[in-house]
A and B are shown apart, each in its own frame.
Chain A
Amino acid sequence: MMILSGDPPRSRALSVLLVVIIAALAVAPFVFPGAKAMNVATKICIFAALVASYDLLLGYTGSVSFAHTMFYGIGSYAIAIALYSLGPNWGAVAIGLAVGLPLAALLALVIGLFSLRVEAIFFAMITLAVASAFLVLASQLSWLTGGEDGRSFQLPELLRPGTVIIPKDWIGVAVNGRTLTYYLIFIACAAMILALLRVVNSPFGRVLQAVRENRFRAEALGYRTVFHLTYANCLAALVAACAGALNALWLRYAGPDTSLSFAIMLDILLMVVIGGMGTMYGAIIGATIFILAQNYLQALMSIASNAATEAGLPLLPGLLHPDRWLLWLGLLFIFSVYFFPAGIVGRLRAGAGRAT
């Protein structure tokens, strides 16, 4: 209980689901050693942490930010640029983190102080504008960021795939630098999610929820809501930047499409809402479902699309084309806001509440 900060899943089905997901992720390098499966597992870890940090904003304070990928991108680029220009060593990783994390927090502070004073809507619009400017900036300052091509770099010796720690003939699966990187990411992301769970269940987290429910009243009770909201914004930005740094370490690359694009922002939004806003566990569920769908649903859609083409149906092949999977997720998103605004986690918890 201590490690979950006294906020257990509160639903048997949810607990089982979480245990299955986490266990699968924990043993992924040994059970699913393929390159694609490993990429999916890593992406689930990183996005679970990223989405959890976004949930701190969206679910717990009720403010919609469109700049979350900007912080994610700052983390990615900080690592990429440091390792690219200083060479593959641990000092460069440290410098990247030492520059990237404070930069993200500072930017979040400025945006927060600037726009969180007024309505949530204002914050949403300002973050959208700032994030789009940042995206343009990152793709134009090619001397620093590599422009549209981004920056590829080499990892420190220990994390490279070539570094064999346990050879393949010992236990059947090779443990190499890649496996080590995966566990580094897994542990870091788990730590970040647990830390966020700690934050939302602290007195500070309670104030955030009070602000979400009734800002005027929270202010009347004597809380400086701007301070609380800005603080939450900075925390979320820090976690997002860390997630971005981990993502860059895994991909050995940072570019506009993998870390900054508006599409990722929409993905995060979909994951939070589908998983369940304001629950933290929703982040894990949402990220898992979304990324599995992203990687495996498309194959299914391609089969359906081909079948529709063969059957000579009009329009359907286009709508079922694998590239259009976002269309169906967008519809799912609208339906979840409509019918179960608390997402999957809220649904499962409500079911558990009725049963007892």
Chain B
Amino acid sequence: MTEVALPEALPQPKRDLLPVLLPVMLALAMLPLIGSSSSWVTLTAASFAMGMMIFIMASGLTLVFGLMDVLNFGHGAFIAVGAYIATLVLLPLASWVQADSLLTNLAVLLPAALAAMAVSGALGLVVERVLILPVYGQHLKQILMTTGGLIVAEQTLYALWGPQIIPLPLPSALRGSFILGDVAISKYRVLAMLVGLTVFAGIQLVLNRTKIGLLIRAGVENREMVEALGYRIRRLFLGVFMTGSALAGLGGIMWALYREQVHASMGDELTVLVFIVVIIGGLGSIGGCFIGALLVAMVANYGGFLVPKLALVSNILLMVAILMWRPRGLYAVTSR
């Protein structure tokens, strides 16, 4: 009796864990340099929180690029719009924001965040239809169009709200820190971490466990094939674009509360940071974007603590180092 060789399991895609270990290794390597373990924990928590906020802003950009090969230079506009919309809710309800109860605070933060997401999502719809649709498939024009969109959005914000910086105080229940032994972690950072992880988990769930996610992933890999199978990928793309814009709006309000101020130029400043994250992560990869955001935040926090002058260019150095190692970013999803 001859043995029938069992059919081998389907070849699994090779797991590439090295990039995942990178932030962990970086954090551990910094421990002896920083010396005191309590400041190390504080810094690590701070980087984690900052990384989560950057991730929320960057995730939409990377997906939009991966799916439709559209790079939105106006992504920062959604961030700024989100922050301004939040002030519309938070400033009139200042008494609720200042109330000393977590529930009241959240009861005003939640609608503010939802309003920010709704408005920037709706703006995403307009931008996609008006600016991106006509120049679809032409990189040069896309860059020009979306840059123009950024100028117009920023100037409109100036026209409507004026050029001054709007202070946006943190809700009182979120001020201060949790103190464990001699480690202090500010409460707002904990909230930022929770929101960031929820968004990350949500995106991963949708991408990996739902039909829409399957289509998005298939679209990233081979757009024509998905279209040939009869799916309207344009509509799918519109959905992703709006979600990405809404997430940018959410990131905008979180960043505004983190800095406790709102200004129309925050869009430009964050665009650069978000681009660096997206490049480091590999265009189109959510996992890469997550790790990229963490790395950028860690380098900023540790760098700012150890060598303050270096922090100014640390992002660029990080990007150069990563691209020397992997020229297409940590996880190159698309072949483009």
Q: Once the chains bind, are B144 and A269 in contact (CB under 8 Å)?
A: yes
Residues on B close to A: CB < 8 A? 71, 73, 131, 134-135, 139-141, 143-145, 147-149, 151-152, 155-156, 158-160, 163, 268, 271-272, 275-276, 278-279, 309, 312-313, 315-316, 319-320, 323, 327-328, 336
Instruction: Choose one: B159, B313, B328; the contact of A319 (CB below 8 Å).
Output: B159
How many residues of chain A are within 8 Å of chain B by beta carbon?
A: 41
Knowing A120-B140, A324-B158, A327-B159 are in contact, say whether A128-B275 is a contact too (CB < 8 A): yes
Q: Can you list 24 A-B pairs, Cβ within 8 angstroms, ordered by A?
A: A120-B140, A124-B143, A125-B71, A125-B275, A125-B279, A126-B279, A128-B271, A129-B279, A133-B313, A133-B316, A137-B312, A137-B313, A140-B309, A273-B144, A315-B160, A323-B158, A327-B152, A333-B151, A334-B131, A337-B144, A337-B145, A338-B134, A338-B145, A341-B141
Instruction: Choose one: B140, B148, B328; the contact of A330 (CB below 8 Å).
Output: B148
Q: Once the chains bind, are A128 and B272 in contact (CB under 8 Å)?
A: yes
Q: Tell me, in angstroms, the Cα distance from A64 to B140 when the chains sit together.
A: 7
Q: Which of A106-151 contact B (CB under 8 A)?
A: 114, 117-122, 124-126, 128-130, 132-133, 136-137, 140
* Chain A residues closer than 8 Å to B131, beta-carbon distance: 334
Q: Once the chains bind, are B139 and A121 in contact (CB under 8 Å)?
A: yes
Q: Once the chains bind, are B279 and A318 in contact (CB under 8 Å)?
A: no
* Chain B residues closer than 8 Å to A62, beta-carbon distance: 140
Query: Total number of A-B contacts with CB less than 8 angstroms?
Result: 100
* Chain A residues closer than 8 Å to B309, beta-carbon distance: 140
Instruction: Choose one: A117, A140, A262; the contact of B268 (CB below 8 Å).
Output: A262
Q: How far is the CB of A293 from chain B (nearest CB, A)?
A: 14
Q: How far is the CB of A16 from chain B (nearest CB, A)?
A: 28
* Chain A residues closer than 8 Å to B148, beta-carbon distance: 330-331, 333-334, 337
* Chain A residues closer than 8 Å to B144, beta-carbon distance: 64, 269, 273, 333, 337
Q: How far is the CB of A142 from chain B (nearest CB, A)?
A: 12
Residues on A close to B: CB < 8 A? 58, 62, 64, 114, 117-122, 124-126, 128-130, 132-133, 136-137, 140, 262, 266, 269, 273, 315, 318-319, 321, 323-324, 326-327, 329-331, 333-334, 337-338, 341
Q: How far is the CB of B149 from chain A (nearest CB, A)?
A: 7
Q: How far is the CB of A119 from chain B (nearest CB, A)?
A: 7
Q: How far is the CB of B326 from chain A (nearest CB, A)?
A: 13
Q: Once the chains bind, are A334 and B140 in contact (CB under 8 Å)?
A: no
Knowing A128-B275, A323-B158, A327-B156 are in contact, say whether A136-B312 is a contact too (CB < 8 A): yes
